[in-house]
């Protein structure tokens, strides 16, 4: 009985050691999806975005698309020079770096009609408040290693 409790405690600590365990899938526009005549600035103001989260653009494939652009192109609703165009109708875009990100729909006048999104991506949220969010990969690897060790010990105890 006692060893089971220790095991549970060990597994719990292992999980809490894992860095950035959960990135959120954020559906752009929530139930409205990705469409013109919707104010994505107002929508984004109600959300927070962090490294590790995914933006999910949901729309009827062919009717719209998603083009990551720079700030200048965003203002001008100009997606013509972009490196990538997402068209699947359920485009999952991982947020990998902090700072401003801009997206627009390149079809017809949709961008002019508000189908454009600018967000500010914050550093990844860490389960340990003591760990500064700007920390390099070294402490992350160390913590992952610690978590793996704890799991290994727990598994050994089960035998």
Ligand X SMILES: *[C@@H]1O[C@H](CO)[C@@H](O)[C@H](O)[C@H]1NC(C)=O
Stretch that binds ligand X, among 3-11, 47-55, 76-84, 137-145 (CB under 6 A): 76-84
- The binder of ligand X chosen from 16, 41, 60, 120 (CB under 6 A): 41
Residue 76 as a binder of ligand X (CB under 6 A): the answer is: yes
Burial classification of residue 89, based on how many CB atoms lie within 10 Å of its CB (0-12 exposed, 13-18 middle, 19 or more buried) = middle
CB atoms within 10 A of CB 57: 22
What span, in angstroms and rounded, lies between the C-alpha atoms of 154 and 141?
Answer: 20
* Pattern 116-155, ligand X, x by CB under 6 A: ----------------------------------------
**C-beta of 83 vs 158, nearer to ligand X:** 83
- Of residues 8, 30, 39, 88, which one binds ligand X by CB under 6 A? 39
The answer to whether the Cα torsion of 90, 96, 102, 106 is positive or negative is: negative
Q: Is 88 in the site for ligand X (CB under 6 A)?
A: no
Nearer to ligand X, 117 or 150 (CB): 117
The size of the interface with ligand X (CB under 6 A), counted in residues, is 9
| Shortest Å, Cβ 35 to ligand X | 13
Q: Kindly tell me which residue out of 3, 80, 136, 138 binds ligand X, with binding defined by CB under 6 A.
A: 80
Minimum Å distance from CB 76 to ligand X? Answer: 5
Annotate 97-139 with DSSP letters as a single string. SSEEEEEE--STTTTTTT-EEEEEEEPPP-S-TTS-TT--HHH
Cα(131)–Cα(75) distance, integer angstroms: 37
């Amino acid at each position: 009985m006692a060893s089971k409790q220790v095991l549970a405690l060990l597994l719990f600590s292992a999980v809490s050691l894992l860095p950035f365990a959960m990135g959120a899938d954020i559906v752009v526009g929530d139930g409205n999806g990705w469409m013109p005549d919707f104010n994505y600035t107002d929508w984004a103001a109600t959300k927070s975005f962090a490294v590790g989260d995914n933006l999910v653009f949901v729309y009827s494939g062919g009717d719209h698309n998603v083009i990551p652009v720079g700030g200048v192109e965003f203002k001008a609703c100009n997606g013509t020079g972009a490196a990538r165009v997402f068209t699947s109708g359920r485009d999952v875009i991982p947020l990998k770096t902090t700072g401003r990100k801009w997206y627009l729909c390149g079809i017809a006048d949709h961008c002019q009609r508000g189908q454009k999104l600018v967000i500010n991506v914050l550093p990844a949220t860490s389960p340990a408040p003591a760990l500064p969010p700007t920390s390099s990969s070294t402490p992350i690897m160390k913590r992952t290693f610690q978590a793996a060790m704890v799991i290994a010990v727990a598994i050994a105890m089960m035998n």
